[in-house]
Each structure stands twice: as structure tokens, then as C-alpha cells.
Structure 1
Amino acid sequence: MQVLLSINPEFVERIFTGEKKFEYRKAIFRRSDVEKVIIYSTLPEGKVVGEFCIDRILTDTPQEIWNQTQTNSGINKEFFDHYFNGKSEAHAIKIGNVKKYNNPFRLDKMKAKVSAPQSFMYLSRDLFPEFAFE
């Protein structure tokens, strides 16, 4: 199973350069069979730009997640603290193999009507345009 994950373009670039090895989330997938993340780079880019395999998902208090991931976070502590402000639980998706698409595409090119998720949405591979995986 795979999910479409909305990620800020600044952080997408850090994922592609390898600076960001963890993607942080306040809520995580309920399904345990999610193995891959399809990256939707939010506006102003507004395109599906790549994918990564999920190495593992860490769940703990925000402070403990920061302690475990800070050297590969791709963000600063101030941003992290603001994002998880008031939360007792934090999730960190460990980014595995990353693939940047040669032909990023808008969501309206998908075979079914899909809009940008607020956080994430489950996807089946048959929704993608044929040129996405060249």
C-alpha cells in the first residue's frame, strides 16, 4: 500500500538532497501495510514529484522523537517545537530509498479525480499516469 503525502516544497528539496531523513507527522496511517510514500509538493509547485520507501515509523513523545532524529531532521528545533506544540505524541517516518520523478505531474493528470490531501491519502498504483515512472 502507498500514500500520497503533502509536503512543503522546501522540505521536498531537502528529502531529495538527503538532508532530511525523517518526515514528521501529527497523525499517522492507520493501515500497517503502507510501504511507500508518493510525494506531493504543495503550492506553489503543486505536483507529484517523487516517492520514497518507508524504512520505519517512530512514535513517541515529541521530545523523544526529536532526541532520536534531530541530526537527520532537515529542520530546526524551533520549527519542530512549533509544529508539535501542545501534542503528546509525535510520529517520524524514516525515509528509505528516494526516487525523484523525471516527469513531475499535477494531480489532474491522475486517472481518477484526486485532490491534494491535507495530510495524506491512501492510493493504489493504478491511479498514476503512465509517464510518471519513466
Structure 2
Amino acid sequence: MALVDDDRLISIRPNFACAIFNGSKTVEIRRKIPLIKQGIRLWIYVTKPVGEVRGVARVAEIVEGDPDAVWRACGPRTGLARAAFNDYLQGSAKAYGLVLQEVEIGCPASMEVLRTLRAGFHPPQVITRLTVAEAEGLHRHLFPT
């Protein structure tokens, strides 16, 4: 994957990250997202108790709409049962499905590694932008040659 200035770091719970890495989940559901576009790379930070970046994926498509429309378009690929999907999106008028492709797993990057790339690094609540240098550093660590 080419490094560009549009890389982002996304926080994902361990069970969902595992499902993304094993291919059983190809759509990440969100209630809201910052402005991102199709084609960006998402570095996957696996939340505690793991607490490290384990891989990367490309956003092939962003499905946006009311929860029912997003479920119709993406449901089986979300890794969620319909009840869990509804619970997560309860009270939300909009839903977003980030369709993931080109998923790669690498050598884990711990918090210590992340803090060498960004002083005072703290995992994002949702998604945070990475500089080209930060993305290059993650790429070197996760995919050494």
C-alpha cells in the first residue's frame, strides 16, 4: 500500500479486530466518523487489554445512511447479529459502514513504539489522522523487510 497523507488510526475492540484480521468481518460500523474518504488506509489499534497496533486495511467504500439502510447493505459483513447492531446504533439517526479491503496483519506496535512515533500518544476515541512520518514508522515496524 502506498503511503499518503490520508492515513488514519482507528480504535477497534479486540474481538472485532480479530474478526477483521481473520476475514469474518469486512465492514466496521460507526455511529459517527470524522471526515474521511474512500481509499484511505486505517491502521488498526486494538484496544485494551491488547493496547497495540496490529494491522492495516484500506477503506474500499463508505456506506452511509439510516441504520436500517446500512444493515440492508452491510449486515452479514459487520460481524454483528442484528440485535447487537441495533443496540449499538440505538438513538442514532445515521450509521456508517466502513467497507475494508487489503487487510494486512503485521508485527504488533506497542504503546512504547507508538510513543516513539508521536510524543504523548494516546489512542483515539474514534479515528485520528497520522502524519506521513508516523505512517511510515508504523509501516517499518509492522512490516520489516
Is this a same-fold pair by TM over 0.5?
Answer: yes
Q: Is 1:11 the counterpart of 2:16 in the alignment? A: yes
- Alignment-derived partner of residue 112 in structure 1: 118
- Alignment-derived partner of residue 83 in structure 2: 78
> Structure 2 CA distance, aligned partners of 1:2 and 1:112?
14
Q: TM-score, normalised by structure 1?
A: 0.92
Shift of 1:126: 1.2
Decide whether the 8 Å contact of 2:39 with 2:60 is kept in 1: no
Distance 1:32-1:17 versus aligned 2 partners, 3 A rule: closer
Decide whether the 8 Å contact of 2:7 with 2:131 is kept in 1: yes
- Alignment-derived partner of residue 124 in structure 1: 131
> Structure 2 CA distance, aligned partners of 1:91 and 1:33?
12
- Superimposed CA distance per residue, residues 52-86 of structure 1 (whole angstroms, 9 cap, x where no aligned partner): 01101010000110111112121111111111000
Q: How many residue pairs were aligned?
A: 133
More moved, 39-48 vs 69-78: 69-78
- Alignment-derived partner of residue 59 in structure 2: 54
Shift of 1:24: 0.5
Q: Is 1:133 the counterpart of 2:140 in the alignment? A: no
> Structure 1 CA distance, aligned partners of 2:98 and 2:26?
8
- When you count helix as a share of all residues, which structure comes out higher? 2
Instruction: State, as a whole percentage, how many aligned pairs show the same letter.
Output: 25
- When you count strand as a share of all residues, which structure comes out higher? 1
Match of 2:68 among 58, 63, 70: 63
Residue type of the alignment partner of 1:112: R
- Superimposed CA distance per residue, residues 16-73 of structure 1 (whole angstroms, 9 cap, x where no aligned partner): 1111010011112314376110000000100000000110101000011011111212
Q: TM-score, normalised by structure 2?
A: 0.85
Structure 1: which 5+ runs fail to align? none
